[in-house]
């Protein structure tokens, strides 16, 4: 395993993903946490940071204490901290170096092995290393900085450092550098594959759960499906899945997903048709937060009622993934980020259940890779994110069964159209929104007065920021016709061209 000490860089997660992509397991830990030198630990990477090493409260670790035990790679801030601690000189550059640069090797070495001359690398720093410490050797420069890569040459310990960010996409051969560090310098085996993860995880789940019973809410989403499939592999039908139809799922979704769960994945899952209860309680509610609360509370009620019907439930399965649990280091001090939209948040304490979270250390793309290895169908793995409150937050204002039907039809045409035109996978999330606006139209000789649907499609990496997707005009023209001609009750289609921020992805 590799440990990444996080000094608060926005790119820290990218380092972890690059390491995992090389099939080496790694974890991110805040820089101020004591490093445990367990036998499996093969190396340490020091991340970048928004700080300058010369700030009074700059985050620090004793690098000397690390390199005695395992090889270390310093990235950006990590490189500057190295230079500073060993007696080199780090100073403010005249200009912030940001963006593309081209690396020239000064000396052949194992870290940069296989990288081409003038390889494009990505810089993002305000300070520069002006002088290397004694006993250190320069490995590469760029046209604008005297130290782009270096290593410690004398004394004990293996230490490499680079001023640029090998983990970002724009460092074209950065992956090669990271692989060199992992394999050639640290001797990692590159055996962290989905198949390996599945074997290990299933064994660990067997150990953790024993013959206890686990209950889990399934949503048809990627994370809960992959988590449930892993748990099922470990304990079989002692996993009790609950899939609730809250009346605001997409068209045909409840039936289709339930069928896949049963026929393809052989999960022990109970489908609960609670549509009427949800519609009943949603009636008259127009405020988005009220709608969310009703859906969240009712969901928990139903889940608890079902759990009470199964004797001896002791544990709760959840599809929590790594970005939800990484302790992030922020400029304002360490903080913990936890996703707020958790459908069953608070349940484990309330029900006194132990937690089972097999995906706790995986990134989203890894969850998909594991899902593929487990034989979960692509249409389930490639689904766009879909909010827990479902179409309820895409029907602006009050929800009625009629409006749900209308939106389901429009959304179905839109989603199917995206798939048929090979656009579905090019966007991060897409959906239709039913506006509480009626307007005049004309169909044949008849005047109509009907609803408007807004179409939303965004590109994004994590949903935190998003840009509206530039879908082709031809497609927009096609889909507008398709919806207006086929969905009775809608006579106008508009396209949302707002990015996040300042807009959000959902309209409510
Ligand atoms: P916003 O609208 O905040 O959405 O830009 C960001 C991502 O979160 C999803 N979302 C939710 N997911 N419960 C959920 O489970 C919610 O209440 C909720 N609200 C928004 C949204 O679909 C997008 O992927």
Across the strands, what pairs with 434? Answer: 395, 453
The pLDDT-based confidence of 169 (bands split at 50, 70, 90) is: confident
- Give the pLDDT score at 339: 34
Give the position, in ligand 1's atom list, of the atom nearest the Cα of 385.
Answer: 24
* DSSP 8-state code for residue 500: B
Domain 194-381 has CATH 3.30.300.30: no
| Mutate which of 385, 506, 507 for ligand 1 pocket (most atoms within 8 A of beta carbon) | 506
* DSSP 8-state code for residue 115: P
pLDDT digits (tens, 9 = 90+) for 403-439: 999 999 999 999 999 999 999 999 999 999 999 999 9
8 Å CB contact between 90 and 51 = no
Residue 320: both structure tokens together? 């929590």
CB-ligand 1 contact for 341 (6 Å cutoff) = yes
E strands of 12-148, at which residues? 26-30, 43-46, 72-75, 89-105, 119-131, 136-142
- Give the pLDDT score at 345: 53
Residue range 2-185, CATH number = 3.40.50.880
HSE on the CB side for 3, CA within 13 Å?
24
ipTM beyond 0.85?
A: yes
Residue 339: both structure tokens together? 């996703």
Let me know if the fold of 2-185 is the same as that of 194-381. yes
pLDDT digits (tens, 9 = 90+) for 173-214: 999 999 999 999 999 999 999 999 999 999 999 999 999 999
The model carries a pTM of 0.84
Q: Enumerate the active-site residues.
A: 76, 165, 167
> Where do the structural domains in the chain lie, given as residue ranges?
2-185, 194-381, 400-495
Residues 6+ apart with CB under 8 A from 281: 294, 298
SS3 430: strand
Q: What percent of the chain has pLDDT over 70?
A: 95
The stretch 220-248 carries a mean pLDDT of 97
Separation between Cα atoms, residue 388 and residue 404, nearest integer Å? 15
Residue range 400-495, CATH number = 3.30.300.10
| Mutate which of 250, 387, 427, 465 for ligand 1 pocket (most atoms within 8 A of beta carbon) | 387
Q: Which of 153-157, 241-245, 348-352, 435-439 has the lowest mean pLDDT?
A: 348-352
Q: What percent of the chain has pLDDT over 90?
A: 85
Determine how β-strand 333-336 pairs with β-strand 327-330: antiparallel
In which residue are the tokens 């969901």 written?
A: 299
CB-ligand 1 contact for 430 (6 Å cutoff) = no
pLDDT digits (tens, 9 = 90+) for 70-106: 999 999 999 999 999 999 999 998 777 788 899 999 9
In which residue are the tokens 């390889």 written?
A: 119
The pLDDT-based confidence of 352 (bands split at 50, 70, 90) is: confident
In which residue are the tokens 């097999």 written?
A: 358
């Amino acid at each position: 395993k590799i440990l990444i000490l996080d000094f608060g860089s926005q790119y820290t997660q990218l380092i972890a993903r690059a390491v995992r992509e090389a099939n080496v397991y790694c974890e991110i830990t805040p820089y101020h946490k004591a490093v445990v030198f367990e036998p499996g630990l093969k190396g340490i990477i020091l991340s970048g940071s928004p700080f300058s090493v010369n700030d009074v409260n700059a985050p620090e670790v004793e690098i000397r204490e690390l390199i005695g035990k395992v090889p270390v790679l310093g990235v950006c801030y990590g490189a500057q901290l190295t230079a500073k601690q060993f007696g080199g000189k780090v100073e403010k550059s005249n200009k912030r170096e940001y963006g593309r640069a081209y690396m020239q090797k000064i000396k052949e070495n194992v870290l940069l092995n296989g990288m081409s001359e003038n390889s494009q690398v990505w810089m993002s720093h305000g300070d520069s290393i002006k002088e290397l410490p004694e006993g250190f050797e320069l490995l590469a420069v760029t046209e604008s900085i005297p130290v782009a890569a270096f290593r410690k040459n004398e004394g004990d310990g293996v230490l490499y450092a680079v001023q640029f960010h090998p983990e970002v996409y724009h460092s074209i051969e950065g992956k090669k550098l990271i692989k060199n560090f992992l394999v050639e310098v640290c001797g990692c085996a590159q055996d962290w594959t989905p198949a390996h993860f599945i074997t290990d995880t299933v064994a660990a789940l067997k150990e953790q759960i024993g013959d206890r019973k686990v209950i889990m809410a399934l949503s048809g989403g990627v994370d809960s499906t992959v988590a449930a499939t892993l748990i099922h592999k470990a304990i079989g039908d002692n996993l009790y899945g609950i899939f609730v139809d809250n009346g605001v799922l997409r068209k045909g979704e409840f039936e289709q997903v339930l069928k896949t769960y049963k026929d393809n994945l052989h999960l022990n899952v109970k489908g609960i048709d609670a549509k009427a209860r949800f519609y009943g309680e949603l009636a008259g509610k127009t405020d988005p937060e009220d709608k969310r609360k009703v859906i969240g509370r009712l969901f928990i009620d139903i889940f608890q009622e079902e759990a009470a019907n199964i004797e001896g439930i002791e544990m709760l399965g959840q599809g929590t993934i790594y970005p939800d649990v990484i302790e992030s280091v922020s400029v304002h001090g360490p903080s913990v980020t936890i996703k707020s939209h958790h459908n069953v948040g608070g349940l484990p304490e309330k029900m006194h259940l132990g937690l089972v979270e097999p995906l706790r250390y995986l990134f989203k793309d890894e969850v998909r890779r594991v899902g593929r290895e487990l034989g979960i169908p692509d249409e389930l793995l490639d689904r766009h994110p879909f909010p827990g409150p479902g179409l309820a937050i895409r029907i602006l204002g009050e929800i009625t069964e009629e409006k749900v039907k209308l939106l389901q039809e429009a959304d179905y045409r839109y989603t199917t159209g995206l798939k048929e035109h090979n656009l579905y996978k090019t966007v991060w999330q897409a959906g239709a929104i039913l506006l509480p606006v009626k307007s005049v139209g004309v169909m044949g000789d008849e005047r109509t007065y009907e609803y408007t649907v807004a179409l939303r499609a965004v590109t994004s990496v994590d949903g935190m920021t998003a840009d509206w997707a530039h879908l082709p005009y031809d497609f927009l023209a096609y889909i507008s016709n398709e919806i207006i001609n086929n969905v009775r009750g809608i006579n106008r289609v508009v396209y949302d061209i707002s990015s996040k921020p300042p807009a959000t992805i959902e309209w409510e």
